[in-house]
Structure 1
Amino acid sequence: MNKDADSQSNGSTKVMFDGACPLCRREIAIYQKIQANEDIAWVDVSACDFQPPVGMTKAQLLKRFHLITPDGDILSGAEAFVFVWNRLPGWRWLGRCARLPGMMFLMEWLYRGFLVVRPGLQQLARFFAAKQ
């Protein structure tokens, strides 16, 4: 896990997501409506003025879901989702499921599979959004 000094100073979790992805936007919008039990800063990596953390690139961050914990640890993929879910009422049960033996491996494996089909799903989502 990497450390990012900037994230340690404000005490909030920085969730970095692809705001240009219709699937990502929808999921993050669901999370944003919930009152988390600690501060979460929702950072759109696709924004023109986004500056990636030291040692990372915008391209890296657009490929996978990432966050920076209040302690400065950088998490990605299933591990990052579980971190968020553990802070959202109504979603903590998923975080508890991740503690079961083999579940983090399975969740990461499923997430990597999703990343393979994500471009096609994005096209479908954009197509249906244009039809509305």
Structure 2
Amino acid sequence: MKTHRKFIPRMSDEPQTWIRIRANRLKLRDEFNVDGDELLRSLSDKAVFTLHEEKRIRAITDPTMRFDELFHILFNKNPQKYFDVVLEALDHIGRQDAVIFLQGGRNTSDSPCDAQFVLLILLLDFPKVG
């Protein structure tokens, strides 16, 4: 019998960003096989998306594109407010493995390619000068 443990947000003074989730979005989809529809339901229940945003996501028929749109919209939201809500939603749908992974329980830089990707994401998040 699978036991469900209560999600406990990590206590940190560091500001939250989407960098870790953004860098690992494809792993969540392709390796962890997170069900985007379940995640959407859970996030919608937690009022992360407006009704318009939810309808926009649900209107996409291809599951992969729907998953990508969910995160595209999510990444435009304030991570200070919603980062832990995403972890709670993953926990709610029984994906504690993904929560542990995103909290750093497993190294995301398993290869130099992964490390380069994280660096690229960091660079893309910097404001453009000039």
Q: TM-score scaled to structure 1, two decimals?
A: 0.30
Q: Quick check: which one's helix share is greater?
A: 2
Which fold has the larger relative contact order, with Cα–Cα distance below 8 Å and residues 6 or more apart in sequence?
A: 2
Q: TM-score scaled to structure 2, two decimals?
A: 0.30
